[in-house]
Amino acid sequence: MFDCRIHRRDALRAALGGALACSPALSLLAADKERLFKIGACDWSIGATGTPAAMKIAREIGLDGVQVTFSKPGEGHDLRSQAVRDEYQKACREQKEEICSLAMGILNQIPYSSAPEPEVWVNDCIEVLPKLGVKVVLLAFFGEGDIKNKPDLQKEVIRRLKKAAPLAERAGVILAIESWMNAADHMRILDAVASPAVKVYYDVANMQKEGYDLYSEIRQLGRERICEIHCKENDSLLGEGLVDFRKVKEAIDDIGYSGWLVIEGAVGHGLSMKDSYVRNQKYLRSLFPTKS
């Protein structure tokens, strides 16, 4: 005889399973498993500024890639040269490493907000990025290039970015602002430029140093405005300094960011750079799901 009680039980179980599968909580869990991160480091932080030798060091540390310096013309390994790009790509293949992004630290000495040359250099970089298969370049606004609380310089940056942004859009690349400014000021500049090719490069230690609520700022900026993140500490290993990386993880999860986490600074007392960076990348992998 057919047992209707079993029928009802199975039906309820099936209905409950379907409801749970469609629940927001389980959907987020499923999505989180698909959100994988890559761990990189700045070439200047691992003692190999602007040289393909950074790829070998990165492999020895256990990183997935390197943020590479984009210099002024004719300086060091100038990525404007096809031969230099070939050298970098060969090193990437041999070491099984990636270039996660480029960085224009030169703008800290020769400001994008005032000097004429950086406009040309940024355009050069926009041309180079797709040739390397790289999407992001960090535009630095520190030192001589600082624009925090300087509305006239910010206005000029907006004017220049409005000119550069269409070129970046056509190239499919992103110009990423890293500065001492808070989230609201970054958002104001991004809104004024009004281009998907201009975003924020978020540095957690810099924002902590400025006294901002960096965890709220990450949520405020959101995934659409943050294109890459520096995982940085001053004078300590990651996880042993002033930045709470578990709270960083919570904020990143809330906005759905995934991709590159790039280590900068974070050398422990009495430790070598290499030992520090081995520990740093292992620490990040203990918090963030990665392929490695």
Question: How many other CB atoms are found less than 10 A from the CB of residue 207?
Answer: 22
DSSP letter string over 140-187? EE-GGG--TT-HHHHHHHHHHHHHHHHHHHHHT-EEEEEES--HHHHH
| The pLDDT value given to residue 105 | 98
pTM above the 0.85 mark?
yes
- Helix axis angle for 214-221 and 245-255, nearest 10°, is 20
| Structural domain range at position 81 | 41-287
**25-34, 91-100, 183-192, 230-239: least confidently modelled range:** 25-34
Rounded mean pLDDT of the chain? 91
Amino acid identity of residue 107, one-letter, is L
- 13 within domain boundaries: no
pLDDT in tens, 156-180: 999 999 999 999 999 999 999 999 9
- 18 within domain boundaries: no
Rg (CA), the chain: 22
Mean pLDDT for 170-198 is 98
Which residues make Cβ contacts (< 8 Å) with residue 193, sequence separation at least 6?
158, 161, 162, 165
112 in helix, strand or coil?
Answer: coil
- 6 within domain boundaries: no
Q: Is-contact 188 220, C-beta < 8 A?
A: no
| The pLDDT value given to residue 33 | 58
Which of 153, 149, 154, 159 is CA-nearest to residue 182?
149
- 36 within domain boundaries: no
- 2 within domain boundaries: no
- 21 within domain boundaries: no
Which residues make Cβ contacts (< 8 Å) with residue 224, sequence separation at least 6?
199
226 pLDDT more than 80: yes
Structure tokens at 44: 């200047």
Mean pLDDT for 135-148 is 98
What element of type H or E holds 64?
none
**31-35, 157-161, 181-185, 203-207: least confidently modelled range:** 31-35
82 pLDDT more than 80: yes
| The pLDDT value given to residue 291 | 84
Which of 163, 158, 165 is CA-nearest to residue 181?
158
Q: In whole angstroms, how far apart are CA 127 and each of 121, 137, 176, 283?
A: 10, 11, 15, 36
CATH code of the domain covering residue 277:
3.20.20.150
Structure tokens at 51: 């040289």
pLDDT in tens, 9-46: 344 334 434 443 333 434 334 445 578 999 999 999 99
- 78 within domain boundaries: yes
- 82 within domain boundaries: yes
- Count how many domains the chain has: 1
| The pLDDT value given to residue 240 | 98
**For 164-167, which contacts have Cβ atoms below 8 Å and span 24 or more sequence positions?**
164/119, 164/122, 164/123, 164/126, 165/193, 165/195, 165/197, 165/198, 166/195, 166/197, 167/123, 167/126
